[in-house]
Amino acid sequence: MKIVVAPDSFKESLRAKEVAEIIEEGIKRVFPQVEVIKVPLADGGEGTIEAILEARGGKVISQEVASPLGERIKAHFGILDDGFTGIVEMAQASGLSLVPQPQRNPLLTTTYGTGELIKATLDRGCKRIIVGIGGSATVDGGAGMVQALGANLLNGKGKQISFGGGSLGEIVSIDMSSLDSRVKNTEVLVASDVDNPLCGPKGAARVYGPQKGATPEMVKTLEKNLAHFAMMIKKYLNKEVKNIPGAGAAGGLGAGLIAFLGAELRPGIKLMIEASRLEERIKGADLVISGEGRIDEQTVYGKTPVGVAEMAKKEKIPVIIIGGEIRGDVEALYERGVDAVVSCIDRILPRAEAMKEAKETLRQATERAMRLIKIGMS
């Protein structure tokens, strides 16, 4: 029997690689001789570098970059074994987890460090860059990112605007003459699991601004500034980004990558599945197991388990997904290729305790599922 294990991380608890290893342990308790193929995944957020390198091979490289607050920090990027594909995880340089709660202010936070990571991949000779843009601390439309790559976003005094979404309204011209010339010959693919436009009721400021520390007044300022930035991009680059689905991802970084780097936005899980070569590794499997920290009504909208299930169904392979917790009605998952949903939690636990015991509860949940399968086989 061959089982493919292709989970996402259990956020704030277990990395995707750990999840895959623990599920394998649970399988082996019941079927010690089974062949288990582990393909840890991510949807563009935390763990993207590790997931792709685990599946494809490559190396992790350390780089000093600007944090969301402009401080110098150590971040990482990856290069695949092919030598020309770079993996950038914006959360490494511009992630919300890098900003202490009292200092979260998207009027000030910047994507400059993400631009520095992109530049570092170019310095290593990469001609193709995959950028995961989940978990950002910013609403600067990717302004900091493109500044790091040499573009000039100039105010009325002819000076570069300062960091943060609060400065976008000061832009009076965009000078691309100093943009890193290597960008033109580089394919940039962006992994994102949201389709929000840059502006409007479902835009970057209104939907995601509060998550990054924005007050209602800040949201109004950010919305106005992003609209102004989009107008400047239209004027100087002749590109319309305001209403593109996904342009509002990561505080508008999606828009910046499209406008300045000619990037192509892809659903995060589809891009990750392609990068990990899951389709070829899944062929001939008897069972596929996926999962993530929380299974709920949102899981059906482009999350890792559903992307995996839809691929497995093309090969007529049954799918089990395991969640750290299950919330709400998950009936829609059964229409998207999922055959069974299993919860790690078998008793009432405080969240902190559940996360502390995640390894053992995941192992036990997998074993329970395998024992049911064993009954069915007999």
pLDDT tens digits along 243-295 = 999 999 999 999 999 999 999 998 888 888 888 889 999 999 999 999 998 88
**Average pLDDT for residues 10-16, to the nearest whole number?**
81
pLDDT at position 26 is 97
Q: Using CA atoms of 70, 72, 76, 82 in order, give the dihedral in degrees to the nearest 10.
A: 90
**Percent of the chain's residues with pLDDT above 90:** 77
Cα(212)–Cα(282) distance, integer angstroms: 38
pLDDT at position 247 is 95
Whether 51 shows a pLDDT value over 70: the answer reads yes
pLDDT at position 354 is 64
**Average pLDDT for residues 114-123, to the nearest whole number?**
98
Cα(89)–Cα(53) distance, integer angstroms: 12
Of 21-25, 100-104, 155-159, 296-300, the poorest mean pLDDT is in 296-300
pLDDT at position 296 is 84
**Average pLDDT for residues 108-117, to the nearest whole number?**
98
pLDDT at position 204 is 95
> Angle at CA 273, nearest 5°, toward 41 and 332?
85
CATH superfamily assigned to domain 48-269? Glycerate kinase, domain 2 (3.90.1510.10)
What does DSSP say about strands 35-38 and 2-5: parallel, antiparallel, or unpaired?
Answer: parallel
Secondary structure letter of residue 162 according to DSSP: P
pLDDT, tens only, 132-168: 998 899 999 999 999 999 999 999 999 999 999 999 9
pLDDT, tens only, 315-328: 999 999 999 888 88
Whether 88 shows a pLDDT value over 80: the answer reads yes
Q: What is the CA radius of gyration of the chain?
A: 21
Residue 350's pLDDT band, with cuts at 50, 70 and 90, is: low
Average pLDDT, the chain: 93
pLDDT at position 348 is 65
pLDDT at position 44 is 75
| Residue 144 in tokens | 């900091």
* CA end-to-end span of the chain: 14
Cα(203)–Cα(81) distance, integer angstroms: 37
Highest mean pLDDT out of 192-206, 318-332, 362-376? 362-376
Give every CB contact of residue 325 below 8 A, 6+ residues apart in sequence. Answer: 293, 294, 295, 343, 344, 345, 354
- Contact indicator for 43, 63 with CB cutoff of 8 Å: no
- Contact indicator for 4, 321 with CB cutoff of 8 Å: no
Strands (E), 42-143: 58-66, 72-80, 85-89, 128-132
Q: Which one has a higher pLDDT value, 164 or 331?
A: 164
Cα(161)–Cα(159) distance, integer angstroms: 6
Q: Which one has a higher pLDDT value, 243 or 192?
A: 243
Q: Is 314 exposed, middle or buried (0-12, 13-18, 19+ CB in 10 A)?
A: exposed
pLDDT at position 329 is 84
> Angle at CA 84, nearest 5°, toward 78 and 85?
45
Q: Is 11 exposed, middle or buried (0-12, 13-18, 19+ CB in 10 A)?
A: middle
Q: Assign residue 292 a region: left if phi > 0, alpha if psi is -120 to 50, beta otherwise? A: beta
- Contact indicator for 212, 138 with CB cutoff of 8 Å: yes
Whether 52 shows a pLDDT value over 90: the answer reads no
pLDDT at position 271 is 83
pLDDT at position 349 is 67
pLDDT at position 252 is 97
pLDDT at position 148 is 98
**Average pLDDT for residues 99-110, to the nearest whole number?**
96
Strand partners, 10: 14
For helices 48-56 and 268-276, the axis angle rounded to 10 degrees is 30
Cα(263)–Cα(132) distance, integer angstroms: 12
CATH T-level topology, domain 2-40+286-377: Rossmann fold (3.40.50)
pLDDT at position 9 is 87
**Average pLDDT for residues 335-364, to the nearest whole number?**
83
User: Helix or strand or coil: residue 121?
Assistant: helix
Q: Which one has a higher pLDDT value, 57 or 105?
A: 105
Nearest C-alpha neighbor of 10 from the set 272, 231, 305, 218: 305
| Sheet containing 340-343: order of strands | 35-38, 2-5, 287-295, 319-326, 340-343
Whether 346 shows a pLDDT value over 90: the answer reads no
Q: Spell out the domain ranges in the chain.
A: 2-40+286-377, 48-269
- Contact indicator for 242, 205 with CB cutoff of 8 Å: no
